[in-house]
Structure 1
């Protein structure tokens, strides 16, 4: 690792021996500069220091390999910022980015930030209603998209009076401007707008699992808030020769801030590639061919990869995962097949990467999120807002203020006030507190199943079902019952070719043996697929309502 990368690390590394998590946490102090800009930290500063340094390695759909240096990213983002400035985009305006993994996504983020504007990442999978809602709610004034999104976007434009500028990486037809032409046009004299750590930088919409999606507005400082977890959960990231990758869409805070931006901040080459549909074999071979050492891989992708052959030349040294709890089967598979640990971490769009596990510094507990990351104060609080005792379940809460914490819900002051109350950000997630202080995810508060007097979290049951060799994926919900209030119902995706006859009873016996008789699903349905958010989380609400 270069001295410049080393100088950027926030966690002090042990000279020898094994670091102690509690000591790291007790000794940690934030040093977030008052004046800062993510585009400068993740692009321009490296372009000044080492313009030829590889920043993004993009693998096209045709298999071509393109290397974008920090100098390339700076020139392109300067030119895009100048063009947006000429079109009237200014400080505070929202600039939407509607593309799958591609250097143009990062360039647009940086260009917006250089103007003091707010980058607004959006999934290409969004249908017209979802897209209309987010563009209208945010009041986006500019959009960058690829050619495949143009028809959908232009059909909505009459409903979006504030949208003034559309730029596409595809063919440009009036009034759509060409991204390629813009970044090929010099912008002499362009200067970045000065910004402070508290100035808005990015707005990411929640997945809408518990109501209408909300625009989560983040300041430039939230980059720093992610770094302690990255350094620890990725096993002392970065190190010399590190290469990062994630299959997660950069429109999700996970893909963007759990791998993409931290890689660029530390000067670590970032692999990008668009999968039309996630292919576990292709993903494993991509990591092997590009020498990926560190990856953020969501649980859904890991479950699919578990059934694919692992290349012998894979050189992963750590995988981070979050979004859904992992079971012992996946942790064991990671050690045996990937030959590296899978370290879980936890966060929300509003406050990300605040809890983590690290195999080098703590005992790994299946399903456990880990401990509070240095720099973040996290507590499991009961109904009386007091910390619960070991063995009890409570709500995961994060002490405010915190560098990683959001500024506000866009246009929703009442929702913001409810989210941060009495000095704590209320996650709405429930966890079991262990004797060793680790937190085991229990359920979202609205996912808890009340059955015959028991409060049952779906996660442990899902983990047990997914651990069965014939089950690829599982989701558990509660359904109304006149006697028990609710009954446990499971939906499972089976391995191809499995005979379903007798399988429901086999799986019920499996859950009874692995977990407990009182959580055994009353009904088990076979599904070809499970409803999911764009970020790969199981949409239990759709199963409950279906």
Structure 2
């Protein structure tokens, strides 16, 4: 219900408390004993599918937990995951958590220098390593991915139970300063995701949810795997290397009832006619703002809706539309049941209809515990009883929220939030460079890419491209380089990224 003073505050009461003792992996796999033969995961190839039953999935997870403990690891140890786009990724993630260890999933696209910084921040006890995935040289013990296959056959470990608010896993998110932040989440985070099931997915045990992303993307890990398994449903994941053009055929062939993807995937699919998808109930989108043109085109082509969600690494998604509460045109949707959300300025919630910073109650069970080793950065985001997202919105009288953009300069590259300072720091010492600024720009309707604007006596595009390829993950690398006579500044002499976006022309 809305507040009597008509401020931009949404509060319908807290969600049910997380049970204790608790283990995230045990909760996710709790249906395995009741439906051991049901297919939990199907890896969709062009001609065949690799299928994992719930019994096989649970056995592999608990066997990996046994193997990791046999190596001398103890609950609370951090395990860095440098694994590729294979089922090893979710098995290792849940295996660590089952044993009470703290996995740290990371993108396979990260470079050696980026992984070196992560290792310094984490001080991991072990690195799970696919030899094909980059990793900086380190004294930390390495365990090859192949060893996970042997561990999967070991006797099952018991789920390590404990307080729901103890650390369960860590994910990395670029901070506004350009320093990667290690976001620590509690075991209760998966319990809190039930608010997403009610307020976004409408996920049922009978569903077959296909996620278009890779295993080693946190959007896929949560929406594509953990949530379907926690609901007793079936997860469908395209095999590594699958051409996106094949997705509609796979959706039809494997009777997908739900489809989740970032907006860019919907854009690619709609570039050609789609086959009938008679089993599809609806689609789900997150990672970046969904353009209304895409939503309308998908509806016209398939007869189904795309329901959008807004969130971040620190709290997954917490504002969304759903079949029960569809969003009005141009709006994100409503806060999910159980969330407490406000649109704030420096004095607290702003009046309805006024722009403010999107904030979520710092008591939300899905909110991160902290930024590891960065108490000042944690405190800067959590104050006044709220976690401040840095994004702007506007709340309507019915609680629906319009997204108004970023309050800071964070970029969005295909669903990944990227700090411009992080990209600039990787490129700043290229010889001959006298000035550099990075931002995202719109190259055509509803399509944004990272662009680097620089000043120099000569063209440095080739040198900057080489440096970006050596220092940055692919999704962080600028797609455009523009040499300028000068970089724009505001009245205070500070760089104006907003002006760069306005100046940009293709």
TM-score interval, normalised by the smaller of the two chains: 0.7 to 0.9
2:42 aligned residue? 57
1:341–1:209 distance in 2 versus 1, CA, 3 Å:
farther
1:394 aligned residue? 356
**1:295 CA displacement:** 2.4
- Distance in 1 (CA, whole Å) between partners of 2:124 and 2:449 is 37
Answer whether contact 2:89 2:216 (CA < 8 A) is retained: no
Answer whether contact 1:58 1:67 (CA < 8 A) is retained: yes
**1:187 CA displacement:** 2.3
1:439–1:210 distance in 2 versus 1, CA, 3 Å:
farther
2:102 aligned residue? 118
> Match for 1:256 among 221, 226, 236?
221
- Distance in 1 (CA, whole Å) between partners of 2:238 and 2:277 is 20
1:295 aligned residue? 259
**1:207 CA displacement:** 3.6
1:72–1:369 distance in 2 versus 1, CA, 3 Å:
same
**1:212 CA displacement:** 0.9
- Distance in 1 (CA, whole Å) between partners of 2:308 and 2:96 is 32
2:285 aligned residue? 321
Higher strand share: 2
Q: Secondary structure at the match of 1:394?
A: strand
**1:476 CA displacement:** 9.3
- TM-score, normalised to structure 1, is 0.73
Deviating above 6 A after TM superposition, structure 1's stretches of 4 or more consecutive aligned residues are 474-479, 482-485
- Distance in 2 (CA, whole Å) between partners of 1:437 and 1:87 is 51
Is 2:404 the partner of 1:418? no
- Distance in 1 (CA, whole Å) between partners of 2:253 and 2:102 is 35
Per-residue deviation, residues 425-484 of structure 1 (Å, max 9, x unmatched): 0111111333433221112212399xxxxxxxx99x959x526xxxx5567999625789
2:423 aligned residue? none
**1:147 CA displacement:** 4.1
> Match for 1:378 among 341, 344, 348?
341
1:233 aligned residue? 200
Point out which structure has higher relative CO (alpha carbons under 8 A, 6+ apart).
2
**1:358 CA displacement:** 2.4
- Distance in 2 (CA, whole Å) between partners of 1:31 and 1:442 is 32
**1:388 CA displacement:** 1.6
My pick for the range that moved more, 88-97 or 242-251, is 242-251
**Pairing of 1:201-220 with structure 2 (within 5 A):** 201-208=168-175, 210-220=177-187
Answer whether contact 2:310 2:319 (CA < 8 A) is retained: yes
- Distance in 2 (CA, whole Å) between partners of 1:221 and 1:203 is 13
Give the gaps of 5 or more residues in structure 1. Answer: 1-23, 170-177, 450-457, 491-520, 526-546
2:151 aligned residue? 182
- Distance in 2 (CA, whole Å) between partners of 1:254 and 1:109 is 14
> Match for 2:83 among 70, 77, 99?
99
1:475–1:369 distance in 2 versus 1, CA, 3 Å:
farther
**1:375 CA displacement:** 0.9
2:237 aligned residue? 272
1:452 aligned residue? none
**Pairing of 1:278-357 with structure 2 (within 5 A):** 279-313=243-277, 315-357=279-321
- Distance in 1 (CA, whole Å) between partners of 2:94 and 2:56 is 12
- Distance in 2 (CA, whole Å) between partners of 1:123 and 1:238 is 29
- Distance in 2 (CA, whole Å) between partners of 1:462 and 1:358 is 28
**1:488 CA displacement:** 4.4
1:482–1:200 distance in 2 versus 1, CA, 3 Å:
closer
**1:320 CA displacement:** 1.6
Aligned length: 434
Answer whether contact 2:125 2:141 (CA < 8 A) is retained: yes
Q: Secondary structure at the match of 1:144?
A: strand
- TM-score, normalised to structure 2, is 0.78
**1:67 CA displacement:** 1.1
- Distance in 2 (CA, whole Å) between partners of 1:192 and 1:328 is 44
**1:28 CA displacement:** 6.2
Is 2:398 the partner of 1:436? yes
Q: Secondary structure at the match of 1:258?
A: helix
Is 2:493 the partner of 1:524? no
Higher helix share: 1
Q: Secondary structure at the match of 1:47?
A: coil
Per-residue deviation, residues 311-351 of structure 1 (Å, max 9, x unmatched): 22353212221222122201101211132111111111111
Is 2:61 the partner of 1:77? yes
**1:63 CA displacement:** 4.5
My pick for the range that moved more, 311-320 or 350-359, is 311-320
Answer whether contact 1:200 1:218 (CA < 8 A) is retained: yes
Root-mean-square deviation (Å): 2.9
Answer whether contact 2:245 2:268 (CA < 8 A) is retained: no
- Distance in 1 (CA, whole Å) between partners of 2:86 and 2:356 is 41
Is 2:33 the partner of 1:48? yes
1:195–1:365 distance in 2 versus 1, CA, 3 Å:
same
Q: Secondary structure at the match of 2:266?
A: helix
**1:402 CA displacement:** 1.0
Q: Secondary structure at the match of 2:151?
A: helix
1:166–1:434 distance in 2 versus 1, CA, 3 Å:
same
